[in-house]
Structure 1
Amino acid sequence: MAHLVVRVIERCENANESAHLDLSSCELMQIPDAVYHLMRNTELVTCNLSGNVLKSVSPKFSQKFSTITDLNLSHNKLSRLPEEFASLSALTKLNISNNSFIVLPQVVFKLQSLASLDAQNNAILEIDTDEAITSDNLALVDLRNNPLSRNCRRKLQNFKTPFLLEISKDVDDDW
């Protein structure tokens, strides 16, 4: 366990120089307060939290790391994102693939600069919104390997934004 603490501290120190925080595969169940403390004077550009066991991300994340452009949350146990993520106005790339999402969080559509959303390999059936997408930059939404409902597919196709939508072939409903 101690080696993981050392790993997190070393990676925070590296990020103070590079502005790229890589906390992938650190067995994190949450983002430790120490990380926010160690990174308090750094404007992060990217943050990689993939390959952990995160079940949630605290609202504090978007306040402390408001300048990030690229966030990788893949291969965790997330099923929702905090509403506060909407304030990540510089975020262009978000990876939430290989998590436990059942619903595509509404907050992703409020990210003004978002260009690429990777949400492959979740259990997404629905989208948590009827609202239009606020990002004019959205170029790619990857929802492959999700059991999207017919209603969800229809909703996605009706969005007026000209983004590329990657979904697995339509599979007939079981009933």
Structure 2
Amino acid sequence: MDRHERDLMDYTKEMMEKKILHWNYRGITELPISLRDKGTAIEELYLKENKITVIPPWIYQLTNLTNLYLAGNKLKNLPEEFSVMERLKVLDLSDNDLKVVPEGLKRLKTLRELILDDNSLCQLPLDIADFEELEKLSLCGNNFVSLPEWLGSLNKLQRLLVDNNFLEELPNRLTLAQSLEIVSVCSNRLKHLPLNSFVSPTMIYFSCNSNLNYISYSLLSQFLELGWNDGKSFFPRN
């Protein structure tokens, strides 16, 4: 029995005994077909830092899957069948080769956490405006120069993380997000922050934005983490 066969036997045994599979750092290049047949009870699947290039269409047959972690692979897309995974709550696609948000996740309206850090994204599709359960959206380390105004309509959004992009401003309507607790926009190119205060108590982290010259009086009344901005003074805009 060679190593590949032994690995498959080990994987199958894990599937039958556990509901949470930790398959990080295993050099996996493709999902074993046995996962389709034996893994229907799996609820959480960790596949970080492998060598996966393609997610098979049969992934939707993992009907009990709620958490899927695919960070640190070589994915460029997702199969369309991905969109019917109605129980999926957490999806981590950070550090892959994504240039656009995959079509396969545009209808995942039950998602609570969507992590897309360290890809090459520059736009968010309008479909995400319908993610009514979304609580965390992380877009750090991409190529965004702007964010859509509809982010302010995500009423359950608590954390928006957009560090290390190329943003010059935040959407004005973001201040209307009813549940927002944290906005982290460090290491961008911000020139100013939203003029109005946030409707919910919101912490804003915006260190390392050397172009930032002023903050409105209304925002100064809220809790802010100023951090370092090249030593510049902030002059509130009237």
- State TM-score, norm by structure 2: 0.59
Q: Which has the higher helix share?
A: 1
SS at match of 2:173: coil
Q: Deviations over 1:70-121 (max 9, x none)?
A: 1101111010101121100000011100111111332322211100011011
Unaligned runs of 5+ in 2: 1-27, 33-51, 213-238
Task: Report the Cα distance in structure 2 between the residues aligned to 1:102 and 1:59, rounded to whole angstroms.
Answer: 22
User: Which residue is equivalent to 2:196?
Assistant: 158
Aligned pair in 2 of structure 1 residues 109, 15: CA closer, same or farther (>3 Å)? Answer: farther
Amino acid at match of 1:52: N
5 Å-filtered alignment, 1:20-59, equals: 20-36=67-83, 40-58=84-102
User: Which residue is equivalent to 1:114?
Assistant: 157
Task: Report the Cα distance in structure 1 between the residues aligned to 2:69 and 2:59, rounded to whole angstroms.
Answer: 8
User: Which residue is equivalent to 2:29?
Assistant: 3
Amino acid at match of 1:3: T
Q: Are positions 1:19 and 2:57 aligned together? A: no
CA shift, 1:158, in A, is 2.4
CA shift, 1:66, in A, is 0.8
Aligned length: 163
Maintained 8 Å contact 2:181/2:203: yes
CA shift, 1:144, in A, is 0.5
User: Which residue is equivalent to 1:68?
Assistant: 111
Aligned pair in 2 of structure 1 residues 130, 17: CA closer, same or farther (>3 Å)? Answer: closer
Maintained 8 Å contact 1:76/1:99: yes
CA shift, 1:14, in A, is 9.5
User: Which residue is equivalent to 2:206?
Assistant: 167
Task: Report the Cα distance in structure 2 between the residues aligned to 1:15 and 1:133, rounded to whole angstroms.
Answer: 38
Amino acid at match of 1:105: P
Q: Which has the larger radius of gyration?
A: 2
- State TM-score, norm by structure 1: 0.78
Q: Deviations over 1:127-162 (max 9, x none)?
A: 3x433544211000000111111xx32x2x523333
Amino acid at match of 2:156: S
Amino acid at match of 1:81: L
State the 4+ residue runs in structure 1 displaced beyond 6 angstroms: none
SS at match of 1:131: helix
Question: Which protein has greater RCO, CA pairs closer than 8 Å, 6+ apart?
Answer: 1
Q: Are positions 1:140 and 2:182 aligned together? A: yes
Q: Deviations over 1:8-27 (max 9, x none)?
A: 34x94796444112232331
CA shift, 1:34, in A, is 4.5
Amino acid at match of 1:31: L
RMSD of the alignment, in Å? 2.9
Maintained 8 Å contact 2:95/2:119: yes
Task: Report the Cα distance in structure 2 between the residues aligned to 1:146 and 1:165, rounded to whole angstroms.
Answer: 13
Task: Report the Cα distance in structure 2 between the residues aligned to 1:14 and 1:167, rounded to whole angstroms.
Answer: 42
